[in-house]
Each structure stands twice: as structure tokens, then as C-alpha cells.
Amino acid sequence: MTDWRDRLPAIRGKLVKDAVLAPYTWLRVGGPAEALFLPEDEDDLAVFLRGLDPAVPVTPIGVGSNLLVRDGGVEGVVIRLGRAFARVEPRGDSAIYAGAATLDAMLAREAGKAGIAGLEFYRGVPGTIGGACMMNAGCYGSETKDVLVEAYALDRRGERRTLSNAEMGFSYRKSAPAAGGDLIFTGALFRGRPDDPAGIEARMEAITARREASQPIREKTGGSTFKNPPGHSSWKLVDDAGWRGRLFGQAMFSPLHANFLINTGEATAADLEGLGEAVRADVRTKFGVELDWEIKRIGRPAPAAA
């Protein structure tokens, strides 16, 4: 059988066949990708996409902070952006550009140094700017939609796209491109408001302290597991259903924050997803409320044992 991985154009980045993905995720689980592509820069990524068979699935990932890779691995190519996509640059008039691989916390930090307020909440958001654009990431009352001016992306044909805030179609933890699935974000432009850097830093320190006190940030976790249903808090539903700190194999919901799924040791992706589905079913039965996953799950389950 002809292997699409052998028919790609000349690229400058790194292409790894049958790449294990677990080390690229905070939960540390998951099977291999058929191919993992680490582009050298945006031009390299565009060349790759133009030469890739449109039938081959493409899955971009960031730092894997909100990602569950199933044990059977991921079909097609997984794209992970590196240092060339992590540039942060103030642009004047309280605007700041960040590449898609920029850590959200780094954007907050650099905006603060530049005296740009309004982006402090990113200090409390795990992940990268690409994921923030895709999921309308936010915390403590602020979201990406509140500060984004425009986002930059490549489509599956390798063509550059610019999307305004309105074109992003933001809603709670989702965007229009997330539904379409054919864009890879490369960067975004944000706008805040001028303020004293010392005051901005003080607010970010308060966010950091609040997060460290209430979230299991040093565990193998994936951040918030479920979205908050209208009128409810997911953590309270999980807690009231009796799942806080209750082991399911080597998976559990954190005793510190009941909406954080944790790999306590050598849990599999099936263990973690199985626990999440068990909790969803229990909450549905007990309270009549539907919990929707906020963690993004990709890939195929492991083959059944013979």
C-alpha cells in the first residue's frame, strides 16, 4: 500500500512517523500519531499543507493542556507548532501580537510589561494562543472574545487567512473555526487598555495565587474536564454526585477541584475517558443535567483484545 507519508514535498521541519503522543499531553496518555509534523516556520507549514493529500486528516495540538489522546492513536498527521510560532510583539495603541504557540501565561506577562491591561486573565489559563482562539479560552469572568482583534491562520490548502473577532463566531468555549475544523491558527492580535505595569503584575500575582490554591496544577491533569452547564457549576455537580477523589482504576477527579480529571499513576486514556463518561451518566441520572466535555478528545480507542 502506498504511504502518503512518503509523498510529501520537501520540508524544513521535522516529520516523525508513528510518533508517540503521550509525552506531548499533560495527562501523559495516548497512542501514536501516524505522523507528527513540527514545522520550521509558517512558510514551511504552508508548503506542507499544499503538498498534503486533502483526504489525510490534520489535527493541530498545542502543549496538550486540555487534550486527551485515545489509546489507539490518531489517524493522519498531528501538527505541533514550535518556537517560530511563539513570538510576542507589542504593536502600539495597547495592541499586542502573539504567535499561536505562545503560552497564554506568557502573553499575559509580556502584555503586563508593556503596560497593556485586560489580558491578565491569561495568567490563569493553561495552554497556548492557538487553543485559546479555537476554544475561546478564559477564566475568572474574562474570555478570548473580549480582547481578540483578529486571528491569523492557514487553511488546508496552505492559504493564509485573517479572521476578525466577529468572523471567529465565539461562544462559550468554542469558535466557528473549531466547528469547521479546517484552519490551523498561526497567531492573533489582541487589544487591551493602558495601565501601570506594577498594577497589572499585582493582579496577575493574585490570579496565580488563586489558581494554585484551588487547582491541582502540579498533577497529571487536563484542566477543566467539563463545561459549566447553564445555571450550574460542573465541579459542584461532580462533587454532589460523589466523585470527588474517588478512584476509577488510576484515574480520579481531584480532591482539590472536582472538575479536574487526574492521572494518578499509569492510567490509560480509556480509564480517564471511562471515568468521565461514568460521571456524566451519573450526573444525568441524579440531577437531570448534561455535562459536556471541555477537554478535547482525539484519536481512536485501543483495539479490543482478541
Nearest to 262 by CA among 209, 215, 227: 215
Question: Which grid cell sits at 95?
Answer: 495592541
Whether 61 is in a domain gets the answer: yes
Question: Which of 83, 115, 150 marks a domain boundary?
Answer: 83
The pLDDT value recorded for residue 31 is: 96
Tell me the C-alpha distance between 88 and 179, whole Å.
Answer: 27
Residue 22 shares a structural domain with residue 126: no
pLDDT 10s digits, 174-227:
999 887 778 999 999 999 999 999 999 999 999 999 999 999 988 999 989 999
Question: Which of 43, 59, 83 marks a domain boundary?
Answer: 83
Residue 90 shares a structural domain with residue 208: yes
Number of H helices, E strands in the chain: 8, 18
Domain total of the chain? 3
Q: Where are the alpha helices (DSSP H) in the chain?
A: 42-51, 104-113, 129-135, 165-168, 176-180, 197-214, 234-240, 269-287
Residue 262 shares a structural domain with residue 288: yes
Q: What is the CATH number of the domain that holds 175?
A: 3.30.465.10
The pLDDT value recorded for residue 2 is: 54
Residue 117 shares a structural domain with residue 197: yes
Structural domain of 235: 217-298
Residue 19 shares a structural domain with residue 68: yes
What residues of the chain score a pLDDT lower than 50? 1, 306
Question: Which of 54, 83, 112 marks a domain boundary?
Answer: 83
Residue 107 shares a structural domain with residue 75: no
Which sequence positions are flagged as catalytic? 173, 224, 294
Residue 102 shares a structural domain with residue 197: yes
Tell me the C-alpha distance between 266 and 22, whole Å.
Answer: 11
Residue 50 shares a structural domain with residue 122: no
Name the DSSP letter for residue 272.
H
Strands 160-164 and 32-38, sheet pairing:
unpaired
Residue 41 shares a structural domain with residue 67: yes
Whether 282 is in a domain gets the answer: yes
At residue 297's C-alpha, the angle toward residues 32 and 155, to 5°, is: 80
Residue 184 shares a structural domain with residue 261: no
The pLDDT value recorded for residue 61 is: 96
Burial readout 113-142 (b: 16 or more C-beta within 10 A, e: otherwise): ebbbbbbbbbbbbbbbbbbbbbbbbbbeeb
